[in-house]
A and B are shown apart, each in its own frame.
Chain A
Amino acid sequence: MFAAHFAAGLAIKSRVPKAPTWALLVGVVIPDFVWIILANRGIEPTPLRVFFDDWSHSLAMVVLMATLFSLLFWRYGRPVMLAVWLAVFSHFILDLLIHPKFLALYPHSSAHVGVFLSGNLGARRYWWAQMCVVLILTLVYVHGARRVRFQPNLLAATCVLLLALHLVMFPG
């Protein structure tokens, strides 16, 4: 998932406007930031045959990241901390739906959870499945942002940007 993570962050933002947008948007992709570092170091190999992302994407590690990152926002109060926690945790929820490999419960766990493997779906179907998730989360965002009377032009710009982010990932 790519644009869907950002859409999830914005959907949360629209429900908890006091939460800093940057914190939610960084939060939703923290596991990917960690993955970039670990993949570059060779700790999480990327070829599908040996694909491994337990340190950056397992349930326990995402919960740990969510908790540590949300603690940075204790001054903002409990609702904002919870929103930031949920933003990070949303990464696990979305990747649970479709991912190159089912997600581990903790690093090197033998138990894995997931719904679809992206490799089994095929690139196009994977893209369309993600599109559905992006659209649903964008609708949640639009509904919430309209409720707090966010400027319509900026709301539209956000929707266009989210869709553009997903369109650039179109396979082929």
Chain B
Amino acid sequence: VTFKEAVVQFLLLAVPIVLLSLINKFDAKESA
């Protein structure tokens, strides 16, 4: 795995983490 491939692989993991974390901000306070 070259450095460029490693960066792409890293972004493939990091971008979904950021997006899904921003969307899913619910916590126990939203519980009934």
Enumerate chain B interface residues (CB-CB to A < 8 A).
1-3, 5-6, 9-10, 12-13, 16-17, 19-21, 23-28, 30-32
* Structural contact, B1 and A25, CB atoms closer than 8 A: no
Report B-chain residues with C-beta under 8 Å of the C-beta of A25. Answer: 16-17, 20-21
Find out whether the CB atom of A33 lies under 8 angstroms from the CB atom of B28: no
Q: Who on chain A is nearest to B1 by CB?
A: A39
Given A40-B3, A150-B30, are A33 and B20 also a contact pair (CB < 8 Å)? no
With beta carbons under 8 angstroms apart, the residue of B9, B12, B13, B26 that contacts A150 is B26
Tell me the count of chain A residues lying within 8 A, CB to CB, of chain B: 32
B13 interface neighbour in A10, A21, A33, A148, Cβ under 8 Å: A33
A positions within 8 Å CB-CB of B = 2-3, 6, 9-10, 13, 17-18, 21-22, 25-26, 29, 32-33, 36-37, 39-40, 46, 145, 147-151, 154, 157-158, 161-162, 165
| Contact call A161/B6, Cβ cutoff below 8 A | no
Q: CA A33 – CA B20 in complex, angstroms? A: 17
Closest to B2 in A: A40
The interface residues of chain B lying within 8 Å CB-to-CB of A39 are 1, 6
Give the chain B neighbours of A150 by CB distance below 8 A: 24, 26, 30
Q: Evaluate whether A21 and B25 lie within 8 angstroms (CB atoms) in the complex, with A33-B13, A36-B10, A40-B6 already known.
A: yes
Assuming the contacts A21-B21, A158-B23, asked whether A149 and B30 have C-beta atoms less than 8 A apart, the reply is yes
Contact among A21, A36, A154 for B9, CB-based, below 8 A:
A36
| B20 and A21 contact, CB distance less than 8 A | yes
- Is the pair B26, A17 in contact by a Cβ cutoff of 8 Å? yes
B20 to chain A, nearest CB (A): 6
A148→B6 contact, CB < 8 A? no
